Amino acid sequence: MPSLDQFRKRVLNDSLFSPCGMADALERLGFVQADPIRCPARAQDLILRHRVKNYRAGDLERRYPDLDLEECYLYAYGFLSKDLWRIVHPKTEKKLTAEHRKTLDVIRQHGPMHSKDLESHVGGERVKNYWGGFSRSAKMAMETLHNRGALRVANRNNGIRVYEVADEIEPTRPPEERLQEIMLATLQAMGATTRRFLLSELSHFKYLVESVADRRRCLQRLIDAGRIRVDTIDEIEYLSLDSGRRGRMKTDIVRILAPFDPVVRDRTRFEHFWNWTYRFEAYTPKHKRKLGYYAMPVLWRDQIIGWATAGVEAGGLKVDFSYIDRRPKERTFRLAAESEVNRLSEFLGLDQSIQEVTLG
């Protein structure tokens, strides 16, 4: 069995592969989580900039229509291949309501549509949304139909979805196999994780396999068949896919990671790896925050040493670093941190001459 140190390096290496072309990176990840908060950029962009050569904020949104991608809920909302999308869908066979059928007809007639344009056809009352705020009913209908697989996101306009009618999908494989494919894809995207985390992340796939016990058995069969590898580190059992690639960890690199980066997402694994509790506090009340609205973990070599917050002020990037323990003393750290801030600035298309960095 590998030591914690070896295992952590392997997980980082697998996830933070050398930057390549967009299509290759998307294939290697298989899924990229989306989040709309821009502080300083959307989660999908922050995730991809470490893995795609010369990535600029917004590239995924711009290239989405050509990349044969879909937006869909896997273990979270995000971007995935059409193949994987066809495994997630179709969902339950429940009949659509009259309102939903009408919505679908209108979009079929008019082609790709913005929820604003739909309002004139099906009305747009103000209704309570899933988040407790308010949305227009036309928008809600589109969201429901998208979730059911009847609509797809054609593209985004300034981050706002434009929907079109999706091709009807026939279930090609038995539900147990579909769930197993979803499990493998999730492991590929997230990297090593525990049975418990994987099963809880995928618990909404009840429409494929109803009971927890059966879902657990689906997972066990993958392990027994040797398709999932098991490592026990400090008595914690981790499941992962064997990528077969053994690159060497790039040395002397500082990386500012998104709150939903695959390296960060499993908070329990994060805690085990670095013995520090990271929290995403955008949705915690201001007075209870400890790290900040959108604190991003900072990886130095293979250690998480603290967090950074970033924002744009007067056209320039402003980054503040904070440390769990203390700032690494080496000069190489300062250079690497400055170089990461420059990369972030370039990715955002900002003027580097008005940049402000507080290294702490």
Partner DNA sequence: TGGCGGCTCATATGTCTCGT
Partner DNA sequence: ACGAGACATATGAGCCGCCA
Give the interface with DNA as residue ranges (CB under 7 A): 33-39, 71, 76-78, 115-116, 126, 129-136, 139, 143, 158-161, 196, 199-200, 203, 206, 212, 259-260, 265, 267, 279-280, 282-286, 293, 312
The answer to whether the CB of 179 falls within 8 A of the CB of 208 is: yes
The answer to whether the CB of 191 falls within 8 A of the CB of 11 is: yes
Q: Whose Cβ is closer to DNA: residue 322's or residue 332's?
A: 322
Q: Whose Cβ is closer to DNA: residue 98's or residue 213's?
A: 213
State both tokens at 6: 């070896």
Residues 6+ apart with CB under 8 A from 174: none
State both tokens at 278: 């990271």
Strand pairing category for 303-313 and 296-300: antiparallel
Query: Least CB distance from residue 286 to DNA, whole Å?
Result: 5
State both tokens at 69: 């991608």
Distances 82 to 66, 142, 144, 283, 332 between C-alpha atoms, Å? 12, 20, 19, 32, 43
Q: Whose Cβ is closer to DNA: residue 142's or residue 337's?
A: 142
The answer to whether the CB of 240 falls within 8 A of the CB of 192 is: yes
Query: Least CB distance from residue 122 to DNA, whole Å?
Result: 12
Query: Least CB distance from residue 337 to DNA, whole Å?
Result: 23
Query: Least CB distance from residue 287 to DNA, whole Å?
Result: 8
The answer to whether the CB of 238 falls within 8 A of the CB of 195 is: no
Q: Whose Cβ is closer to DNA: residue 214's or residue 338's?
A: 214
Query: Least CB distance from residue 18 to DNA, whole Å?
Result: 26
Q: Whose Cβ is closer to DNA: residue 161's or residue 269's?
A: 161
Q: What are the φ and ψ backbone dihedral angles of 335, each rounded to 5 degrees?
A: -65, -45
First CA to last CA distance, the chain: 38
Q: Whose Cβ is closer to DNA: residue 7's or residue 79's?
A: 79
Q: Rounded to an integer, what is the distance from CA 198 to the centroid of its chain?
A: 15
β-strand partners of 126: 136
State both tokens at 4: 């914690």
Strand pairing category for 160-165 and 151-157: antiparallel
Query: Least CB distance from residue 181 to DNA, whole Å?
Result: 19
Query: Least CB distance from residue 185 to DNA, whole Å?
Result: 16
Q: Whose Cβ is closer to DNA: residue 253's or residue 312's?
A: 312
